Amino acid sequence: MTPTRRTFSKYLYASSFAALVARVNCDASPEGSGAEPWWKTAILYQIYPRSFQDTNGDGMGDFPGMTSRLRYLQDLGVNAVWITACFDSPNADNGYDVRDYRRIHPDFGTMDDFERFMAEAKSRKIRIILDMVFNHSSDEHEWFKQSRSSRTNPYRDFYFWRDGVNGKPPTNWPSFFGGSGWEYDKTTGQYYLHHYATKQPDLNWENPQVRKQLYAVLNFWAEKGVSGFRFDCIGEISKPLPFRDMTPAELKEDGMALRCSGARLDEYLKEMRAATNSYPDLYFVGEGWGMSRQEIVRATDDRNQELNSAFRFDFELQDITDGWRKLPWSLPNLREFNRDNAFEDNHHVWPIVFLEDHDFARSVSRFGSDRPEFQSRSAKLLATMLLALRGTPLIYQGEEIGMTNFPFRDVSQYDDIGVRNLWNDLVVTGKVSAADYLSNNALTSRDNSRTPMQWDESPNAGFTKAQKPWLAVNPNFHRINVQAESGQPDSVLSFYREMIRLRNSKSSLVFGSYRDISGKFPNIYAYVRADASGRTVVVLNFSNEAVNFQLPADIAVKKRLISNVSESQAELSNIIRMLPWQSAIFE
Ligand code: GLC
Ligand code: CA
């Protein structure tokens, strides 16, 4: 299957089309001007390797599979790819428990496969970013095996070991995946700390040897030509010491704010950056979960030489509580978060913009419309927003074809350790009913975004030749798949391609200032992006009803650049009629 590069779009107005093609053809992206670092103009795509493309029939995606799909990503307009956790691991948490930081996961192939992948990516001008899980390792990592073997082992201090208190764990810290955050180890009669699963002991960054080893890992991969790193749980690496019990207030969100309040975070990040200074182009993007805005600003302000960007979860976590329960989300909160995340108060901060990743449910099911007539349109509306905000946009695999949540019904259908552990803690103990737990998890579980990529209509969506993939394919793959959508000019996939081209052709969409002009319209989200080259106006209708949206008095629009509804807009005036779930960008 080879997706064809389309040369005409029904979304683009003919008048703007010629100009756009002219600009896009001479330079596919603003990159290359040299004035700004490459990652500010990148279109970043996240691959979840286990679910992307299997080639050897074992039901799991692999590097040869990723290599075979680079052409697809290039055609989409992607120029940087984040490969989700891909190192050797016993898979207690799908690769987020690393056994060897210098070895490709055997499920995904060999170092040779990785190197072939890198070479092919380079020839397609696609940069590669790897996931660095440095807050914890696997308990099967050599360091931990040594560490647990005796109290005097040189690696003892690579992790946090403490005595229990009256036969109980040292503190009341819970694990994010259920149960206590301390595990008793009878070999030496002490407990070790694990914010996540018992098989994910937290590394002790206080120990300079730990830091030295981790920085060496970064240089090892930089040497192989990778262009950056995504740092897992980065806010948690500096612990608030000495350890003490969490207060009831701190226990909110499992104590995330306290865990991220260690005093040495900035010091570590600066040191890590300096340790890799032979590679000044590396993009460092942190998972900023649990970090306050102030902490994120400090860690990503370009004058501080720490991270370049950080994922923020303030909005993403608003419609989930206790790690599984669904709450409603609200458009005012989305608008407020996007305003906040544009960092108009400090342009030294460069954000990353995302709606989906491997830890959340699918965005179209979450923020779009489930009504069949609006599903694809609302996925395009979300694409419009994602690609028209200040910051590097991240597209998560399958988002570009409008993949939806999976119809989960039974706990046996889940792979996620979080879902299975909490089932034991909550349902098996009778605290929560099975029906309540299951209906909420069907909407919130991260397994929703981990089902295999839907390539075509063949069995298992062309993902694997195995009878059974590691996680079931969404039954809607006959309708939602790359091959079908490649041939449809009005598909979600075609829209993504157009939207990426539009972003690349308008510097205001990348670098422009941000101003919300939604005014008093409850279902409209509208904003202006402006720079020296001009002004673009983005209007999104997040509802099943048409709205006559009135622009503020000081804004006039001349031309529609793109819309997810192909009928031409009535005469442009200061009142814009927006159909249900319509999105449009004007200049
Ligand atoms: C991050 C990852 C998530 C993982 C956790 C523990 O949040 O994105 O998938 O379970 O860290 O490593
Ligand atoms: Ca495979």
Please tell me which residue in 232, 295, 319, 400 is annotated as part of the active site.
232
Question: Which pLDDT score, from 0 to 100, does residue 33 have?
Answer: 52
Q: Among 470, 497, 524, where does a domain finish?
A: 497
359 in contact with ligand 1, CB cutoff 6 A: yes
Whether residue 469 is preceded by a cis peptide bond, meaning omega within 30 degrees of 0, is no
Active site residue 232: yes
CA of 456 to the centre of ligand 1 (A): 30
Residue 569's CATH number: 2.60.40.1180
Tell which atom from ligand 1 comes closest to the C-alpha of 196.
Answer: 6
pTM exceeding the 0.75 threshold for the entire prediction: yes
Question: Which pLDDT score, from 0 to 100, does residue 568 have?
Answer: 75
Q: Among 497, 528, 555, where does a domain finish?
A: 497
369 and 452 together in one domain: yes
Cross-strand pairs, 530: 513, 535
Instruction: Kindly compute the dihedral angle of the four CA atoms of residues 490, 491, 495, 498, in this order, to the nearest 10 degrees.
Output: -70
The alpha-helical segments, DSSP class H, found in 200-322 are: 208-223, 256-259, 265-275, 293-300
Residue 234's CATH number: 3.20.20.80
- Per-residue buried b or exposed e for 503-522, using 16+ beta carbons within 10 Å of the residue's own CB: bbbbbbbbbbebbebbeebe
Question: Does a structural domain hold residue 339?
Answer: no
Kindly give, in sequence order, each residue whose CB lies less than 8 Å from that of residue 51, ignoring residues fewer than 6 positions away.
Answer: 61, 397, 450, 451, 452, 453, 463, 469, 470, 471
**Which residue range(s) make up the domain with 150?**
142-193
pLDDT tens for the 587 residues of the chain, in order? 233 322 233 344 333 433 433 333 334 444 445 589 999 999 999 999 999 999 999 999 999 999 999 999 999 999 999 999 999 999 999 999 999 999 999 999 999 999 999 999 999 999 999 999 999 999 999 999 999 999 999 999 999 999 999 999 999 999 999 899 999 999 999 999 999 999 999 999 999 999 999 999 999 999 999 999 999 999 999 999 999 999 999 998 899 999 999 999 999 999 999 999 999 999 999 999 999 999 999 999 999 999 999 999 999 999 999 999 999 999 999 999 999 999 999 999 999 999 999 999 999 999 999 889 999 999 999 999 999 999 999 999 999 999 999 999 999 999 999 999 999 999 999 999 999 999 999 999 999 999 999 999 999 999 999 999 999 999 999 999 999 999 999 999 999 999 999 999 999 999 999 999 999 999 999 999 999 999 999 999 999 999 999 999 999 999 999 999 988 777 778 999 999 999 999 99
173 and 278 together in one domain: no
Task: Quote the DSSP letter at residue 458.
Answer: S
313 in contact with ligand 1, CB cutoff 6 A: no
Q: Among 451, 471, 497, where does a domain finish?
A: 497
Cα separation of the two ends of the chain: 37
Pocket test for ligand 1, best of 46, 101, 232 (most atoms within 8 A of CB): 232
CA of 57 to the centre of ligand 2 (A): 6
CA of 244 to the centre of ligand 1 (A): 24
Pocket test for ligand 1, best of 96, 138, 289 (most atoms within 8 A of CB): 96
131 in contact with ligand 1, CB cutoff 6 A: no
CA distance 440 to 513: 38
Question: Which pLDDT score, from 0 to 100, does residue 34 have?
Answer: 59
Question: Does a structural domain hold residue 299?
Answer: no
- The residue with tokens 């969404």 is 474
CA of 450 to the centre of ligand 1 (A): 13
Residue 147's CATH number: 3.90.400.10
Please tell me which residue in 97, 202, 236, 287 is annotated as part of the active site.
287
187 and 108 together in one domain: no
User: From atom 5 of ligand 1, which residue's Cα is the shortest distance away?
Assistant: 96
254 in contact with ligand 1, CB cutoff 6 A: no
Counted domains in the chain:
4
554 and 428 together in one domain: no
Tell which atom from ligand 1 comes closest to the C-alpha of 97.
Answer: 12
CA distance 321 to 474: 25
Question: Does a structural domain hold residue 99?
Answer: yes
Question: Does a structural domain hold residue 185?
Answer: yes
Question: Which pLDDT score, from 0 to 100, does residue 35 have?
Answer: 82
CA of 537 to the centre of ligand 1 (A): 36
Question: Does a structural domain hold residue 508?
Answer: no
CA of 86 to the centre of ligand 1 (A): 13
CA of 348 to the centre of ligand 1 (A): 27
Cross-strand pairs, 231: 132, 286
561 and 572 together in one domain: yes
pLDDT tens-digit readout, 163-186? 999 999 999 999 999 899 999 999
CA distance 255 to 238: 14
Kindly give, in sequence order, each residue whose CB lies less than 8 Å from that of residue 293, ignoring residues fewer than 6 positions away.
Answer: 312, 314, 340
**Number of C-beta neighbours around residue 467 at 10 A:** 9
Tell which atom from ligand 1 comes closest to the C-alpha of 133.
Answer: 12
Question: Does a structural domain hold residue 525?
Answer: yes
User: From atom 9 of ligand 1, which residue's Cα is the shortest distance away?
Assistant: 359
Which residue in 157, 136, 135, 133 sits closest to 146, CA to CA?
A: 157
440 and 569 together in one domain: no
396 and 434 together in one domain: yes
93 in contact with ligand 1, CB cutoff 6 A: yes
127 and 177 together in one domain: no
CA distance 584 to 576: 10
429 and 491 together in one domain: yes
Active site residue 287: yes
177 in contact with ligand 1, CB cutoff 6 A: no
**Number of C-beta neighbours around residue 153 at 10 A:** 15
Question: Which pLDDT score, from 0 to 100, does residue 134 have?
Answer: 98
Alpha carbon distances (Å) from 254 to 173, 194, 238: 8, 13, 17
387 and 491 together in one domain: yes
443 and 421 together in one domain: yes
Question: Does a structural domain hold residue 199?
Answer: no
HSE-up of residue 259 (Cα within 13 Å, Cβ side):
27
**Strands annotated E in 320-454:** 320-321, 325-326, 352-353, 392-396
pLDDT tens-digit readout, 304-363? 999 999 999 999 999 999 999 999 999 999 999 999 999 999 999 999 999 999 999 999
386 and 535 together in one domain: no
196 in contact with ligand 1, CB cutoff 6 A: yes
Question: Does a structural domain hold residue 504?
Answer: no
